[in-house]
Amino acid sequence: MNLLLDLALVAWLVVLALHVARTGDDRNAIVAFIAFGLLLGLAWTRLGAIDVALTEAAIGGGITGLLLLRAEAHLRRGRQADGAPRQGGGAKTIVAALASAVVALGLGLAVLAFPSPAPTLAQPALAAIDATGLGNPVTAVLLAYRALDTLLEKVVVLLALLGVWALTPDNLWGGAPELKEANPPQPLLYLARTLPPFGVLIAVYMVWVGADAPGGTFQAGSILAAMWLLVMLAGLSPAPETRSRLLRLLLVGGPALFFAIGFLGFAVAGGFLAYPKPLAKALIVGIEAALTVAIALALGLLVAGPSNKAPAR
Amino acid sequence: MAEFLTGAAFFILAVTALGLFRVLRSELAVERMMAVQLLGTGAAAALVLLGAASTSPATTDVALLLMLLAAFSCAAFTLGQSEEPGDAPAPKGDES
Amino acid sequence: MTLAALDSATLFGLCGAALAGIGLFVVIAHPGLLRRLVGFNILGAGIFMVFGAVARRGAAAGLPGDPVPQAMVITGIVVAFSASALAVALLRRLFDLTGRDSLEPPAAGKTPRAES
Amino acid sequence: MSALADLFTLVMVAGGALLFLAGTLGLLRFPDTLSRLHALSKADNLGLGLIVLGLLPQVGSIAGGLKLVCVWLLAQLSAATASQLIAGALHRRKSGR
Amino acid sequence: MTPLALAPVHVATPGGYLLVLALTLPVLGVLAILALAPRRARQVALASMAAGLAVAIAILAELLRTGDALTYVVGGWQPPLGIALRADGLSAALIAMTALVICATGLFARGMHDLAPETRDGRAATTFWALLLATWSALNAVFLGEDLFNLYVALELLTFAAVPLVCLDGRAETMAAALRYLMFALLGSLLYLLGVGLIYGAFGTLDIRILSGLGDGGPALSVALALMIAGLLAKAALFPLHLWLPPAHAGAPAAASAVLSALVIKAPVFLILRLVLDVAPPEAAAFAGQLLAVLGASSILFCSVMALRQARLKLMIAYSTVAQIGYLFIVFPLASGPEGMPPWETIAWTGGTLQLVSHALAKAAMFLAAGVVAEAFGHDRIADLGGFGRALPLSAAAFGLAGLSLMGIPPSGGFIAKCLLLTAAVINGHPWLAATILAGGLLAGGYVFRVINTALASPAMPLTTRRTIPRRLEMTALALAVAAVLLGFIPLEPFGLLQIGRSGLATAVLP
């Protein structure tokens, strides 16, 4: 039964992906992609990776979908209804088909050739977890064993935001992005009032249990970002100006705290990003809380895009 | 029991898949957005069932999140929908 | 290989391979940039699924999967999203400036949108 | 007691699954968008409700039960608003044309 | 579990903390720039540059003092669970090169921004400083990383820093160039990531040092390496995947072009080198080396010809970059010395490294000089620049000196590099590679002399500059060009620094 379920799931995922590849209309492809993202969340629970399932559902199914839908609406508005689907060149399609077939076959071969028993770091990860005081090994990997990756990835997100802001026309730089639609429909306003309390509750819960159970800063941050975007879309609260000092301090605060605790490790724990054992859990939870705010803001602003209102004054 | 619950999850997924493809092949753009709603509910039901089958309490968290984001995506889509080319405001932010 | 010998981790690994192939095809073959971005996301999903299969195979010590590749996927998802966001911002700006939504040279008979 | 609870779960989950089937059939057979939408959101939500109800006896902890109920509440909220949004968009589209 | 995990493969060395500083200091500057007011950006950047340069010198000094590689185990978590950083001789040389070029470009950019005080604290200038520092951190992370996934994050960091640099001035054609660049870079990173996943699946570790001792991994390893190298080639813009590079590098502001062409492009090349030398099994490495050499040789020939045909100065320099990168790939078959001699003791290894460093210095100098020219005359069409040497003698000199290195004419670092590669090609019996090196030199001579000729021409109407260019700007380019020439005076024999920490790899393998 389990295998049957997995087979159905896999078939479904592949068919949805093919639908994205074949459909003529961009919006259709994006809708299918959102469905694909939600389904991926299900697939990840089947793979025993609840942490990933939460992340994938929140980012893949939620925020990426909004990002792409907004872009599509923007392009469609500007294109003024010349909807003739473009065709790629024949030769290019053949090359692409060949290349992707080779990659997929090679990959499939490699997947089938994986050694058995599979190499794993599950035991060492579990053996070392006491030193961190955590209960969720994924969180331990993210914030202790491979904290450097996580730290650099935070910088990647900030850099992406910087890159997006750099695309602002010069006269609007430092202003606020505009997300509010011309006349948000009534049910949207209702949703924007009722959904965020749920979302915030779930996010807080995720950070809270993240140390010991699936969940954590990424998942919570992306949920918060989604809720914030909903509020901004409905026009209940305007997007902040990108030059705002408070906003920038909050954005930088999480990674800065991470760096600060990392450097503190030099003094008290014998190395960069090492945590003193009795304080490890407290420090990690503190970092997670600060990072959650920074991630939520950064993801939300990444979707909001460059500012399109001149700064006030 | 677990076998039955997994089976029910499979059944719901299969049924939802049928509906999904009907909706995705639809001519009407509005109708396609029902896909997300449909899938959100179906996947949440399947997840709840699987969570009960596997006694892994965190699976329900995924269902919770999926429901939350299905609603969110639906809202996002309807916004793009309301902007028919005619009544769109002039794009802001270009150089004057 | 009989169906019975196929375990669910391998199944998802093969699914990842297929998704990666489909995503790659969209990225290379489709002229529209927005669709290419969707393709990138599917390619990414396929890659992460290969990681997921690897993690699932490494289930041991009472864990449902090897936490190390799982953590890598989480990092990867966030990076991939940032990349999509940057690409979308670039695409919107390019479109605002030129009316193009593709990097191919505009087809004959299609005039670029007049600047306001 | 446990057997009774299991039987309850069995019946409720089966009922829920059938409602999902009914929703899909409605989606496939009904002629226009609005009735399809109606069939979908009503049947699926009821189905989810039955499943949640059926699973409640199987949950070990209060928190687990609360989470299940929360899933259902969220589904109600999102289904209601989403159908309204879609119906609204449909309406605007029709009146616009 | 493999017994390797129990015996620590990486032993932290006392100077290891310097590696952490090299990686984090520039990024801390980025955070500070984000948090502070725009007018503080340049102060923060200049301060970070001073600190970063000091760290780079300290790393080099420490390496030469101890004669051994520097290692740091982050957080005390031993690989394979944790991440290690390691600087051997080659990494240290590249870190020093990066510091030098970044600081020179930073000084140049400061001068350039001073020319337009009204936009000095504006969008482009402020963002430039943050991106410059981020690029620096990313490059150091690539040169220091020992963990394949950590290297993926570093590569993405580099992408996200480099792409916005291309379109800083906001013109439509630079947007298209940046988008094309982003597409190639993303595809490259994803293919690389795919390979990382397969390697983890096959070995359960991503630490390069552990991997180098694990031997054959079957089809998974071959597929993984093929995917990773293909992805990195797209990022390194080797022919035929070079199409994105010329518009991107030519469209960026001068200082950004210098960093992109001199440094950013070297990161994927360095990673390919590490994969082929340290991870690939010997037969696969030999095969990959042959293939890469063919692509490298085609790159040299095709893109040198393209460079000759360009009408715009910056585009010409950008095509020259693709051609010069080609030389780095013909090193692979040449570095397989006689029996029992590891690659890093061959003259091709030294030659390749010299080519990498001298190209970085020379190309940065050229782009900066071209930036001065474009700023002075408002365009960079070579045909309309007749006699620019009279108006801007220092820039013309910088261009010429840097050209020496690209052509491989003595005295210059490029000469030594190409001489070593040529010797290696002849000794190892690769006549066609030798011929390619010679032809590439001749073609480079063609495009460099075309510009020098223009510079020295005496047109009927002498060119006048739009604005006066401060001497300091021109001096930066000249200093880099002189540094490229001075590289030609270092002793010729396989250069000790580059072997530091390499030999340890072979002995780290447990039987």
pLDDT in tens, chain D (97 residues): 578 888 888 898 899 999 989 888 888 888 777 777 777 778 888 899 999 998 888 887 888 888 889 889 988 888 888 778 777 777 776 665 4
What is the chain C residue with the closest CA to E194?
A: C47
Whether the per-residue pLDDT at B92 is higher than 60: the answer is no
CA distance E319 to E261: 10
Whether the per-residue pLDDT at E284 is higher than 90: the answer is no
Residues E269-280: what's their mean pLDDT? 90
Task: Quote the pLDDT of residue E507.
Answer: 36
Nearest-Cα distance to chain D for B92, in Å, is 24
C21, C52, C66 ranked by CB distance to A104: nearest: C21
Residues E243-262: what's their mean pLDDT? 92
CB within 8 Å: A14 and C8: no
Contact present, E and C (at least 3 Cβ pairs less than 8 Å): yes
CA distance A88 to D49: 47
- Give chain C's end-to-end CA distance (angstroms, integer): 63
Taking alpha carbons only, the member of A107, A96, A6 closest to residue A48 is A6
CB within 8 Å: C116 and B94: yes
Task: Quote the pLDDT of residue E332.
Answer: 87
Q: Is the dihedral angle over the CA atoms E156, E161, E166, E171 positive or is it negative?
A: positive
Amino acid at E423: T
Residue B8 domain flag: yes
How confident is the prediction for chain E on average, in pLDDT? 88
Nearest-Cα distance to chain B for A65, in Å, is 7
Give the chains touching C; criterion: ≥3 Cβ pairs < 8 Å: A, B, E
pLDDT tens digits along E146-170: 999 999 999 999 999 999 999 998 8
**pLDDT per position in chain C (116 positions), as tens?**
444 456 888 999 999 999 999 999 999 988 889 999 999 999 999 999 999 999 999 888 788 889 999 999 999 999 999 999 999 999 999 998 888 878 776 544 444 443 33
How many domains, in total, are found in chain D?
A: 1
pLDDT tens digits along E378-412: 888 888 888 888 888 899 999 999 998 888 888 88
A8 chain-B contacts, CB cut-off 8 A: 10, 13-14, 17
Strands (E), E389-454: none
Contact present, D and E (at least 3 Cβ pairs less than 8 Å): no
Taking CB atoms within 8 Å and a gap of at least 24, the contacts of B90-93 are B90/C116, B91/A74, B91/A77, B91/A78, B91/C96, B92/A178, B92/A308, B92/A309, B93/A168, B93/A169, B93/A172, B93/A306, B93/A307, B93/A308, B93/A309, B93/C96
Amino acid at A40: L
CA distance E151 to C75: 13
Task: Quote the pLDDT of residue A87.
Answer: 54
Nearest-Cα distance to chain A for B12, in Å, is 10
Whether the per-residue pLDDT at E188 is higher than 80: the answer is yes
CA distance D41 to D23: 8
Give the tokens for residue E124.
Answer: 């482009």
Nearest-Cα distance to chain B for D50, in Å, is 10
Task: Quote the pLDDT of residue A117.
Answer: 82
Count chain A–chain C contacts defined by CB atoms under 8 A.
Answer: 292
In C, what residues contact E, Cβ < 8 A? 20, 27, 33, 36, 40, 43-44, 47, 50-51, 53-54, 57-58, 66, 68-69, 72, 75-76, 79, 82-83, 86-87, 90-91, 93-94, 97-98, 100, 103
Taking alpha carbons only, the member of C53, A210, B43, D76 closest to residue B51 is B43
Task: Quote the pLDDT of residue E1.
Answer: 41
Q: Does the beta carbon of A178 lie under 8 angstroms from any beta carbon of chain C?
A: no
Q: Does the beta carbon of E127 lie under 8 angstroms from any beta carbon of chain C?
A: no
E286 three-state secondary structure: helix
Residues E80-95: what's their mean pLDDT? 91
pLDDT tens digits along B3-53: 888 999 999 999 988 888 888 887 776 777 777 888 888 999 999 999 888
Nearest-Cα distance to chain D for B91, in Å, is 21
CA distance E149 to E81: 12
Residue E427 domain flag: yes
- Indicate the range of B73-77, C82-86, E209-213, E279-283 predicted with least confidence: B73-77
Task: Quote the pLDDT of residue E18.
Answer: 93
The pLDDT-based confidence of B96 (bands split at 50, 70, 90) is very low
How many domains, in total, are found in chain E?
A: 1
Parent domain of B63: 2-79
Which run of H or of E encompasses C46?
Answer: helix C33-57
Of E46 and B85, which is predicted with more confidence? E46
Residue with tokens 């961190």: A132
The Cα-based distances of E146 to A125, A284, E72, E149, E209 in angstroms read: 19, 25, 10, 9, 7
Parent domain of E428: 295-511
E177 chain-C contacts, CB cut-off 8 A: none
Whether the per-residue pLDDT at E145 is higher than 50: the answer is yes
Task: Quote the pLDDT of residue E49.
Answer: 94
The pLDDT-based confidence of B93 (bands split at 50, 70, 90) is very low
Taking alpha carbons only, the member of A156, A125, A159, A151 closest to residue A284 is A151
Parent domain of D82: 2-96
CB within 8 Å: C65 and A49: yes
The pLDDT-based confidence of B80 (bands split at 50, 70, 90) is low
CB within 8 Å: B44 and D75: yes
Residues of chain A with pLDDT under 70: 80-89, 313
CA distance E151 to E235: 14
Give the tokens for residue E331.
Answer: 């090193």
What is the chain C residue with the closest CA to B93?
A: C96
Taking alpha carbons only, the member of A69, A199, D74 closest to residue B41 is D74
Task: Quote the pLDDT of residue B78.
Answer: 67
Sorted by sequence, the CB contacts under 8 Å of residue B69 that are 6+ apart come out as A38, A57, A58, A61, A62, A226, B40
CB-based contact E137:E143 (threshold 8 Å): no
A195 chain-D contacts, CB cut-off 8 A: 77-78
Half-sphere exposure of A189 toward its Cβ, with a 13 Å CA cutoff?
8
Task: Quote the pLDDT of residue D93.
Answer: 66
Whether the per-residue pLDDT at B87 is higher than 60: the answer is no
Residue E378 domain flag: yes
A5, A74, A181 ranked by CB distance to B82: nearest: A181
Whether the per-residue pLDDT at E200 is higher than 80: the answer is yes
CA distance E43 to E129: 10
What is the chain C residue with the closest CA to A303?
A: C85
Domains of chain C: 9-98 (1.10.287)
Give the tokens for residue A91.
Answer: 């030769």
DSSP 8-state secondary structure symbol assigned to residue E70: E
E37 three-state secondary structure: coil
C98 chain-B contacts, CB cut-off 8 A: none
A67, A112, A125 ranked by CB distance to C68: nearest: A125
Task: Quote the pLDDT of residue E338.
Answer: 61
Residues E57-61: what's their mean pLDDT? 93
Alpha carbon E407 to its chain centroid, in Å, reads 18
CB within 8 Å: E186 and C83: yes
DSSP 8-state secondary structure symbol assigned to residue E146: -
Cβ count near E282 (within 10 Å):
9
Of E37 and C41, which is predicted with more confidence? C41
How many domains, in total, are found in chain B?
A: 1
DSSP 8-state secondary structure symbol assigned to residue E312: B
Give the tokens for residue A56.
Answer: 């994938």
Whether the per-residue pLDDT at E498 is higher than 80: the answer is no
User: What is the pTM (predicted TM-score) of this model?
Assistant: 0.93
Residue E23 domain flag: no
C44 chain-E contacts, CB cut-off 8 A: 190
CB within 8 Å: A96 and C25: yes
B12 chain-D contacts, CB cut-off 8 A: 16-17, 20, 47
Q: Does the beta carbon of C96 lie under 8 angstroms from any beta carbon of chain B?
A: yes
The pLDDT-based confidence of E493 (bands split at 50, 70, 90) is low
A114 chain-E contacts, CB cut-off 8 A: 201-202, 220
pLDDT tens digits along A72-131: 888 888 775 554 555 556 788 888 899 899 999 999 988 888 887 888 888 888 888 888
CB-based contact E234:E187 (threshold 8 Å): yes
A107, A165, A259 ranked by CB distance to E28: nearest: A259
CB-based contact E269:E325 (threshold 8 Å): yes
What is the chain D residue with the closest CA to B53?
A: D58
Strands (E), E47-151: 70-73, 84-87
CA distance A91 to E467: 50
C24, C54, C96 ranked by CB distance to A100: nearest: C24
CB within 8 Å: C69 and E197: yes
Q: Does the beta carbon of A56 lie under 8 angstroms from any beta carbon of chain C?
A: yes
Give the tokens for residue E72.
Answer: 């740091």
The pLDDT-based confidence of E492 (bands split at 50, 70, 90) is low
Amino acid at E389: G
The pLDDT-based confidence of E339 (bands split at 50, 70, 90) is low
Nearest-Cα distance to chain E for A206, in Å, is 25
